[in-house]
Amino acid sequence: MTDKQGAVRRLIRYLTRYSGKFWAATFLMALFAVFQAILPLIMGTATNDIVAGNMEGLERSVLLLLFFSILMFITGMLGQRIFAAVSQQALCDLRTELFDHMQSLSLNFFDRQPIGQLMSRVTSDIDVIDQFFSNAFQNVMQAVVSIVVITAFMLWLSVRLTILVYAVLVALSIFIWVVSRISKPAFSVLQEHISTLNGYAEEHIEGQKVVLAFMQEGRSVEEFSKVSRDAARAGGKASFTALITLPISITSTNLQSVLLLGIGGVIVVMGRFDLGLLVSFLGLSRGITGPLSHVFMSYSMLMNAIAGAGRVFAILDETPVVADRPGASAMPKVRGDVIFDHVDFAYIPGRTVLLDNSFHAAPGQVFGLCGPTGAGKSTIINILTRYYDIQSGSIAIDGTKIDSVQQDTLRIQIAQVLQEPFLFSDTIMENLRYARAEATDEECIAAAKQAGADGFIMAQPQGYQTFLADGGAGSLSQGQRQMLTIARAMVANPRLLILDEATSNVDTRTEKLIQAGLLQLQQGKTSFIIAHRLATIRHADTILVINKGQIIERGSHAQLMEKQGFYHSMYMSQFRGKLAGITKAA
């Protein structure tokens, strides 16, 4: 319970940040509720005036009715306006805070959490909080005010009748409360089914081409149909339990009238109090049951909001695993002296991926990395750029340990081309400029030319301004996307260059073009190049051969060939069988 209270309090704090407006809105809405409660009371006095034949009194009551109706309109309007402003501002704060925090988290957080799930934190969870803010919160506040005002008035009129009204109310409340309790779990169940449904749809629409190629349409529709049916069932339960509160609250009001009229009527007949009083109480008690049932209806909203807020706060409370040390200094300008000293690493504790790796790259050197798939090449890059922290050993650049400086100041000096070519759904120009915000159009175009991408870019309908829908997935060839990521890295103009299989989908002749550009870029910079196509790294100063997480050979191409070890056999296997002999002879 304290947990839930904590979540609610924390949510409210987002509102009270704007304390001036918040309290003004609260005050106005309380006034609004007071006027709303007063109006039926004036109608009561008007009735009495009519019964008493008091024309003067009636005129006064009518004027009061007019006056308070207008006041109610003004306070209600102002209160709702200000509250809307505050609550939307609070939601906006929450959204941006959540977004900023997610961005600060380390990659292993994203390894664990599917994007779809993170998306629903910022979308559907904030949505339920929105509903809570814009409906439930106001309802509850108004209900409290109405109940207090009306009860006070009822007590002033007749204590005994008030007790009767409350006896009936308590009985009804228990009834509504029971119903609303039952409805609670239905919503979290629904939430789960909805995320399963969305997840399935997202994955299979993105992969529709695969489904088609493997003729699994039938099965996939069947699976989807099942997921959809489950979601519909859960949705039915949740909607039903939510909607049922309306008939129940209406019926409660009716039952209350029956009970009051029945019991009260008999008492009146017995001569204990008069009819006028009973009729007034009938009206007054409706003034309580209405708001009260709103509160109960808000209950499930509140529960949803608490659950949503809990999930949102769980992310906000997550601390980045790879964090800057307090007071970490900025990385000085990198010369490019990289030292790996007995480095061990595992993504998942206990499952070592890299074991005891050491090497030294001097400034300006080109390092080639090769080895079987899954050997750990990309992993070396991941820890050099400090996406993950190592378990033991140390990594230093220019003698500075990379975990002692601010990560951003390190990464900004490194340009990477990642193994997965990722482009944003934006124009080609903006995608290139992504590497360096202040790059001019000319610089971006120059980089594209260097990367050999200018040709196909100009062939696109709008040249550099062509919009890449879905990150270019539907309109560029795989190699073209890789070339754009290379051009993007060239725009960065970094101190250290990393290419992870950057040209694997690019043909050799294009690659030669790119390499001429890269060579210019690499001038005086330390570079790490991962490639399965050995020609790509043949000219590297040092080639590291990695197998099963360890560097098993190192040296220049010539040295490694001479050694006739792992590298040599990898190299020779390119010629395959019969042809191997020919080249040896040549």
Partner 1 sequence: MNLQNYLRLWSFFAGHKKWIVLSILLSLVLTIMTLVIPTLSANLINEGINKGDTSAIFHYGEQMLIAAIIGCLAFVANTAIAVWAGEYAAHHLRVAEYAKIQTLSHGNIDRFRSSDLLIRLTTDVLTVKNATIQLVLTFPIVPFFLLGTIVLISINMPSILPITFGVLVALALLLLAYLVIVQPKYITKDKRIDEVNHTLREALAGIRVVKAFVRQAHEKEKFGSVAENLRTAATVPQYMLAYITPANTLILYLGITAIYFIGGSQAIAGSGMNIGDVTAAAQYLIFILVPVYLLSIILPLASSADASLVRIFEVLDAVPEIRPPEKPVAVDVGKAQGRVVFDHVSFGYRTADGTAAKPVLSDISFIAEPGQTVGILGATGSGKSTLVSLIPRFYDVTQGRVTIDGVDVRQISLTDLRSIVSICQQEPVLFSGTLRDTVTYGMPGMTDDRMHVIARAADADSFVMNIPDQYDSYVARRGENFSGGQRQRLAIARALARNPKVLILDDSTSACDVVTEAAIQDAIGGLMEKTTRIIIAQRISSVITADRILIMEKGRIIASGNHAELLKTCPEYQEIYSSQLGSVPAAGGAAA
Give me the residues that bind Mg ion (CB under 5 A), please: 378, 419, 477-478
- Is residue 462 part of the contact set for ligand ATP (CB under 6 A)? no
Is 567 within 8 Å of 560 (Cβ atoms)?
Answer: yes
The one-character DSSP state at 333 is P
Per CB under 6 A, 475 contacts ligand ATP? yes
- Cβ 163 to partner 1, closest distance in Å? 20
Mark out the alpha helices in 135-216 (DSSP H runs). Answer: 137-157, 159-206, 208-213
Nearer to partner 1, 6 or 571 (CB): 571
Nearest to 128 by CA among 314, 316, 303, 295: 303
Contact flag: residue 480 with ligand ATP (CB under 6 A): yes
Q: Report the nearest approach of partner 1 to the CB of residue 234 (Å).
A: 9
Task: Tell me whether residue 288 or residue 537 sits nearer to Mg ion (CB atom).
Answer: 537
Give the separation between CA 582 and CA 576, rounded to whole angstroms: 11
Distance CA 208, CA 210 (A): 5
Q: CB nearer to ligand ATP: give 439 or 499.
A: 499
Nearest approach, Cβ of 355 to ligand ATP (angstroms)?
12
Distance between CA atoms of 265 and 383, rounded to whole angstroms? 82
| Reduced 3-state DSSP string for 122-142 | HHHHHHHHHHHHHHHHHHHHH
* Amino acid at residue number 328: A
Does the CA dihedral 52-56-59-61 come out positive or negative?
negative
Interacting span for ligand ATP (CB under 6 A) from 183-191, 293-301, 475-483, 535-543: 475-483
Shortest Cβ distance from residue 80 to partner 1 (Å)?
4
Residue 437, binding choice from ligand ATP, Mg ion, partner 1, none, Cβ under 5 to 8 Å by partner class:
partner 1
Q: How far is the CB of 338 from partner 1 (least distance, A)?
A: 17
The yes or no reply on residue 363 touching ligand ATP (CB under 6 A) is no
Judged by CB under 6 A, which of 193, 294, 377, 488 binds ligand ATP? 377
Structure tokens at 357: 């790796």
Residue 266 contact among partner 1, ligand ATP, Mg ion, none, beta carbon within 5 to 8 Å by kind: partner 1
Among 88, 104, 478, 559, binds ligand ATP (CB under 6 A): 478
Task: Characterise 132 by phi-psi region: left (phi > 0), alpha (psi -120 to 50), beta (else).
Answer: alpha
Q: Decide: is 327 part of the binding site for ligand ATP (CB under 6 A).
A: no
The contact pattern for ligand ATP, residues 486-505, with x = CB under 6 A and - = no contact, is -------------------x
Tokens coding 295: 């509160």
Residues written for the chain: 586
Task: Point out which span in 66-74, 221-229, 243-251, 478-486 binds ligand ATP (CB under 6 A).
Answer: 478-486
Instruction: Report the nearest approach of ligand ATP to the CB of residue 474 (Å).
Output: 5
Question: Between residues 49 and 500, which has the closer beta carbon with respect to Mg ion?
Answer: 500
Q: Say what the alpha-carbon torsion angle 94, 100, 101, 107 is, to the nearest 10 degrees.
A: 140
Burial class (CB in 10 A: 0-12, 13-18, 19+), 215: exposed
Q: Which does 225 bind (CB under 5 to 8 A by kind): ligand ATP, Mg ion, partner 1, none?
A: partner 1
Identify what 219 binds: ligand ATP, partner 1, Mg ion, none; CB under 5 to 8 Å per kind. Answer: partner 1
Rule CB under 6 A: which of 412-441 touch ligand ATP? Answer: 419
Residue 467 binds ligand ATP, judged by CB under 6 A: no
Alpha helices in 207-274 (DSSP H): 208-213, 217-243, 245-259, 265-269
In whole angstroms, what is the distance from residue 514 CA to residue 119 CA?
37
d(CA 433, CA 487) in angstroms, rounded, equals: 10
Task: Give how far Cα 400 sits from Cα of 391, 403, 404, Å.
Answer: 18, 9, 7
Shortest distance (Å) from residue 459 CB to partner 1: 8
Min separation Cβ 6 and partner 1, Å:
25
Nearer to ligand ATP, 436 or 481 (CB): 481
Q: What share of the chain is helix, strand, coil (3-state, %, to 5)?
A: 70, 10, 20
- The one segment of 185-193, 207-215, 374-382, 556-564 that binds ligand ATP by CB under 6 A: 374-382
Cβ atoms within 10 Å, residue 334: 21
Compare residues 162 and 501 and give the one whose CB is closer to partner 1.
501
User: CB-wise, 72 or 353, nearer to Mg ion?
Assistant: 353
When asked if residue 374 is in the footprint of ligand ATP (CB under 6 A), the reply is yes
* Pairing, β 338-346 against β 496-500: unpaired
Report CA 205 to chain centroid distance, whole Å. Answer: 21
Q: Which residues bind ligand ATP (CB under 6 A)?
A: 111, 347-348, 353, 373-379, 419, 456, 474-480, 505
